[in-house]
Amino acid sequence: MAAVEERTSVRAEARYVRTAPRKAQLVAEQIRGRSVPEARTILAFMTRDAARDVERVLYSAVANAEANHGLDGDELYVLTATVGSGPTLKRWRARARGRVARIKKRTCHITIALALPEEQAIPAPLPKPAPVVTPAPEPEAEAVEEEEAPKPKRAPRKKASETAETAEEKPKRAPARKKAEASEDKPKPRSKKATPKDEAAEKPKPKTTRKKKAEDS
């Protein structure tokens, strides 16, 4: 069986940081080999912009040591602090006479490793806690009783023969009277007698022409 190598450092890495590798490297050299409290103080009072990026990586490495291995961050020291170059973003800007000037936006990868003094072995990672499973809510007792109660049975459907018998037993309606009988029973309206005035009004008046008017005159 192959021998299991003991782990002596805890590391953290930040990739594709938008800082030039040379600028970040000048900051990393200031904390290499120092204790964690001293490195934090140096980075807090450094005026370079790259110090903020290196400080984030240092805090991440300390958090990994405390959460995964149960170590005290103040007892560790910076074993290694390296900066590697990343891909360069190429941009351009306009210059005189229609020319173009190249702009190079560089990136870098920052890596920091922490270790115990005298390079002591780091304990194995702590076991992860089991996920907490919340029990499903139990249904109320009333709802369970309603579900268990049997549904009322439907009444059986009547057959066609039974429906025919019930239809025959029902009394038939009396036929409606004829229209003629109904008209005879109704009293007739009285007719008004014609008066001489009405007869004169009904007769049409004779038409008179111009010739008859001249003869009459």
Q: pLDDT digits over 29-54, tens only?
A: 999 999 999 999 999 999 999 999 99
Please state the separation of Cα 130 from the chain's center in Å: 30
**Span 67-95, pLDDT tens digits:** 998 899 999 999 999 999 999 999 999 99
pTM, two decimals, is: 0.58
Is 64 within 8 Å of 57 (Cβ atoms)? no
Band the pLDDT of 1: cuts 50, 70, 90. Answer: very low
> What would the pLDDT profile of 177-196 be if each residue is shown by its tens digit?
555 565 555 566 665 555 65
Maximum average pLDDT range among 54-63, 122-131, 184-193: 54-63
Cβ-based neighbours of 110, under 8 Å, separated by 6 or more: 13, 14, 17, 24, 28, 53, 54, 57, 81, 82, 83
pLDDT of amino acid 76: 94
30 close to 42: Cβ distance less than 8 angstroms? yes
CB neighbour class for 113 (10 Å; exposed up to 12, middle 13-18, buried from 19):
middle
Domain boundaries along the sequence of the chain: 10-119
What's the whole-number average pLDDT of the chain?
A: 80
Task: Report the distance separating Cα 57 and Cα 188, nearest Å.
Answer: 118
Band of the pLDDT at 134, cuts 50, 70, 90? Answer: confident
**pLDDT for the residue numbered 140:** 63
- What dotted CATH number matches 10-119? 3.90.470.10
Answer whether residue 27 shows pLDDT above 60: yes
Looking at residue 57, its pLDDT comes to 96
DSSP string, the chain: -PPPPPP--EEEEEEEESS-HHHHHHHHHHHTT-BHHHHHHHHHT---THHHHHHHHHHHHHHHHHHHH---GGG-EEEEEEEEE-PPEEEEEE-GGG-EEEEEE--EEEEEEEE-GGGPPPPPPPPPPPPPPPPPPPPPHHHHHHHHSPPPPPPPPPPHHHHHHHHHHSPPPPPPPPHHHHHHHSPPPPPPPPPHHHHHHHSPPPP--HHHHHHH-
